[in-house]
Amino acid sequence: MHQIRGVDYELFERGSGRPVLLLHGFTGQGSWIDRFPDLPARLISPSLLGHGGTSHESIGRMRMSQQVRDLSALLDRDDRPWTVIGYSLGGRIGMTLAACDDRVEHFIGISTTAGLESATLRKERRTQDAALAGFLEQHGIEAFVNRWERLPLWHQTEEMRAALRPERLAQRPEALADHLRAIGTGSMPSVWPMLDRLPRTDLIVGKHDLKFREIAKRMQLRQAHIRIHEIPDAGHAPHIENAQQFGTMIEKLILGGNENGISSKLDFGPNV
């Protein structure tokens, strides 16, 4: 375990070279580092607040502002420019970090979003997140996983689902529930007004993930420097559903150059 701002974090690390921060999705954990190819890079992969072996903190301590500050402190471990790779939930967190920390020179988002622009939509989503949190607490982790793995956004075989199931079942239902209340899509601040603060940005989407393909296109319309990369034969989890193509894409993006994006970033202040 590693102490970051008073919180015990589970941290996975591999390799040497340029630093790359990996941020997993909801119900995941830092061990997803194993899904990445061998690279001449220093991969650092924490289990996010409320996930894996990282501490279950209060709802207030798990808000986006707190999670981003923890990750910013983690960047202190290497004084070279960082690449941040985030999947879904981890992509939303990583995008927020990239928009407010100038040490991030490259952001790669996988099946992710800049959040909900409308306050009305955020309020509706908070209601949905609260209901899902209540389901977790009332019915337990197994019933939740049964429901989660049947969502239509996946493009997974039974074998893929079976491989993911132990990791999902190992999560703590009360921690996931509080995480939803603290940093679910309805609770996260919208990053849409801050897209111009992002550095070089690449968005990876599965060809069958129609919703997130459309979101990526909307982001690119707002900021032309954002690049979109489709993974064939994949839905919302391309790193699982087409692991070979995903690995090739990550290797290409990490090793393929250091084009400069826009870096006019400002501090969010205390209420991120």
Residue 266: its pLDDT value, please? 31
**Total-model pTM:** 0.90
The candidate with the shortest Cα–Cα distance to 242, out of 204, 203, 201, is 204
Residue 198: its pLDDT value, please? 96
Residue 32: its pLDDT value, please? 94
Burial classification of residue 159, based on how many CB atoms lie within 10 Å of its CB (0-12 exposed, 13-18 middle, 19 or more buried): exposed
Packed helices 119-148 and 158-169: angle between N→C axes, nearest 10 degrees: 100
Evaluate the CA torsion angle 223, 227, 230, 235 in order and state its sign.
Answer: negative
> CATH number for the domain including 232?
3.40.50.1820
Residue 139 domain-assigned (yes or no): no
Phi, psi for 176 (deg, rounded to 5): -65, -40
What tokens appear for 251 in the block? 């290797």
Residue 89 CA to residue 113 CA, distance in Å, equals: 9
Residue 216 CA to residue 198 CA, distance in Å, equals: 14
Burial classification of residue 151, based on how many CB atoms lie within 10 Å of its CB (0-12 exposed, 13-18 middle, 19 or more buried): exposed
Residue 194 domain-assigned (yes or no): yes
Residue 144 domain-assigned (yes or no): no
The DSSP H or E segment spanning 165 is: helix 158-169
Residue 168 domain-assigned (yes or no): no
Kindly provide the residue ranges of all beta strands, DSSP E only, lying in 25-179, ordered along the sequence. 41-46, 82-87, 104-110
Residue 12 CA to residue 213 CA, distance in Å, equals: 30
Q: Which residues of the chain have a pLDDT value below 50? A: 258-272
Helix, strand and coil content of the chain, in percent to the nearest 5, comes to 45, 15, 35
Residue 227 domain-assigned (yes or no): yes
User: Per the structure, how many domains does the chain have?
Assistant: 1
Residue 37 CA to residue 63 CA, distance in Å, equals: 31
Kindly provide the residue ranges of all beta strands, DSSP E only, lying in the chain, ordered along the sequence. 2-4, 7-9, 11-14, 18-23, 41-46, 82-87, 104-110, 200-206, 227-231
The candidate with the shortest Cα–Cα distance to 229, out of 210, 243, 242, 246, is 246
Residue 73 domain-assigned (yes or no): yes
Residue 7 CA to residue 1 CA, distance in Å, equals: 9
Domain that includes residue 250, residue range: 2-116+189-255
Residue 15 domain-assigned (yes or no): yes
Residue 151: its pLDDT value, please? 81
Residue 195 domain-assigned (yes or no): yes
Residue 210 CA to residue 191 CA, distance in Å, equals: 21
Residue 246: its pLDDT value, please? 94
Residue 155: its pLDDT value, please? 78
Report the half-sphere exposure of 16 (CA within 13 A, side-chain side). 0
Report the half-sphere exposure of 201 (CA within 13 A, side-chain side). 32
